């Protein structure tokens, strides 16, 4: 009995239902296996506290818990949204920006990932409204570019030009609308923005709108 209560508490905390609902699932034999191979209705149970997942965010979804418009959380299955402690996105992407977005229920890790001191490199692919002029890489790398309305210059950022109007930009900080504002400061305009890399992680074939749980090795690399 005590084991059933413990299991019900564990599964409820992972978002599989209320304690009563999961107790019924256990009674009905819908929870099988144990330890490393615990299954709910045949599917492996999500990892306990400390889970990290990546989403390939489509355009049109907002990174917010507030109930306005379409939220990135809607792209996760209900059980992941019901976890306690809850899953939060590690920083934000603009509604129009696509690509790699991380979520975790680990508050300490979340803090580290979004701290201005973390200096985790993040790479963005930008499609521009006008052809690049050739001065942008030096400007972004200079450490002297001051964005409109700010005083502190941006940290040096690496620009790789991959086409007449396409470039990838790697930042080690994350200011509000930073990529769009950097290109605006260079006299251009970002038409489309996609994040392809967050520290050691890349999307690597994850389809738009899809998510996956990071492996233990990936989480360790992220924490390193
Ligand atoms: N820079 C931006 O301008 N927008 C984002 O979503 C991320 C970085």
User: Model confidence at 153, in pLDDT bands (50, 70, 90)?
Assistant: very high
CB of 127 closer than 6 A to ligand 1? Answer: no
Atom 2, ligand 1: which residue's CA is nearest?
A: 177
User: Looking at domain 121-198, which of 3.40.1710.10, 3.30.70.1560, 3.90.850.10, 3.30.1340.10 is its CATH number?
Assistant: 3.30.70.1560
Residue 16 has pLDDT above 90, yes or no: yes
pLDDT above 90 coverage of the chain, percent: 87
94 flagged as catalytic: yes
The pLDDT, as a whole number, for residue 67 is: 66
Indicate the average pLDDT of the chain.
Answer: 94
CB of 179 closer than 6 A to ligand 1? Answer: yes
Output the CA 121–ligand 1 centroid distance in Å.
13
User: Model confidence at 192, in pLDDT bands (50, 70, 90)?
Assistant: very high
Three-state SS across the chain?
Answer: CHHHHHHHHHHHHCCCCCHHHHHHHHHCCCEECCHHHCEECCEECCCCCCCEEEEEECCCCECCCCCCCCEHHHHCCHHHHCCCCCCEECCCCCCCCEEEEEEECCHHHHHHHHCCCCCCCEEEEEEECCCCCCCHHHHHHCCCCCCCCCCCCCCCCEEEEEECCEEEEEECCCCCCHHHHHHHHCCCCEEEEEEEEECCEECCCCCCCCEEECCHHHHHHHHC
Q: Domain coordinates of the chain in residue numbers? A: 2-44, 52-116+204-223, 121-198
Residue 28 has pLDDT above 80, yes or no: yes
User: Model confidence at 69, in pLDDT bands (50, 70, 90)?
Assistant: confident
The span from the CA of 94 to the CA of 69, in Å, is 13
Please classify residue 112 by burial: count the beta carbons closer than 10 Å to its beta carbon, then call 0-12 exposed, 13-18 middle and 19+ buried. Answer: middle
Give mean pLDDT, residues 112-134: 94
The pLDDT, as a whole number, for residue 87 is: 93
**Residue of 99, 98, 71 whose CA lies nearest to 87:** 71
Fold agreement (52-116+204-223, 121-198): yes
Output the CA 220–ligand 1 centroid distance in Å.
26
pLDDT above 70 coverage of the chain, percent: 99
**Side-chain-facing half-sphere of 209: CA atoms under 13 Å:** 4
User: Model confidence at 42, in pLDDT bands (50, 70, 90)?
Assistant: very high
- Which of these is catalytic: 94, 105, 106, 191? 94
> Is 52-116+204-223 a domain of CATH 3.40.220.10?
no
The pLDDT, as a whole number, for residue 2 is: 62
Q: Residue 53 in contact with residue 103, Cβ under 8 Å?
A: yes
The pLDDT, as a whole number, for residue 25 is: 96
130-151 pLDDT, tens digit each: 999 999 999 999 999 999 999 9
């Amino acid at each position: 009995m005590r084991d059933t209560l413990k299991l019900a508490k564990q599964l409820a905390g992972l978002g599989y239902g209320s304690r009563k609902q999961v107790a019924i699932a256990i009674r009905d034999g819908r929870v099988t296996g144990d330890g490393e191979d615990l299954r709910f209705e045949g599917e492996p149970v999500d990892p306990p506290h400390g889970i990290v997942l990546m989403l390939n965010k489509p355009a049109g979804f907002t990174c917010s818990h507030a109930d306005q418009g379409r939220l990135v959380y809607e792209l996760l299955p209900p059980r992941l949204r019901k976890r306690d402690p809850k899953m939060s996105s590690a920083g934000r992407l603009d509604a129009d920006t696509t690509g790699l977005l991380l979520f975790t229920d680990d508050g300490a890790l979340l803090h580290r990932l979004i701290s201005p001191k973390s200096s985790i490199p993040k790479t963005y692919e930008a499609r521009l409204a006008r052809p690049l002029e050739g001065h942008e890489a030096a400007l972004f790398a200079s450490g002297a570019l001051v964005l409109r309305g700010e005083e502190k210059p941006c940290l040096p950022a690496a620009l790789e030009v991959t086409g007449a109007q396409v470039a990838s930009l790697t930042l080690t900080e994350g200011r509000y609308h930073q990529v769009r504002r950097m290109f605006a400061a260079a006299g251009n305009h970002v038409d489309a923005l996609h994040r392809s890399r967050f520290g050691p992680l890349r999307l690597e074939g994850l389809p738009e709108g899809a998510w996956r749980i990071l492996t233990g090795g990936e989480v360790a690399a992220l924490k390193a």
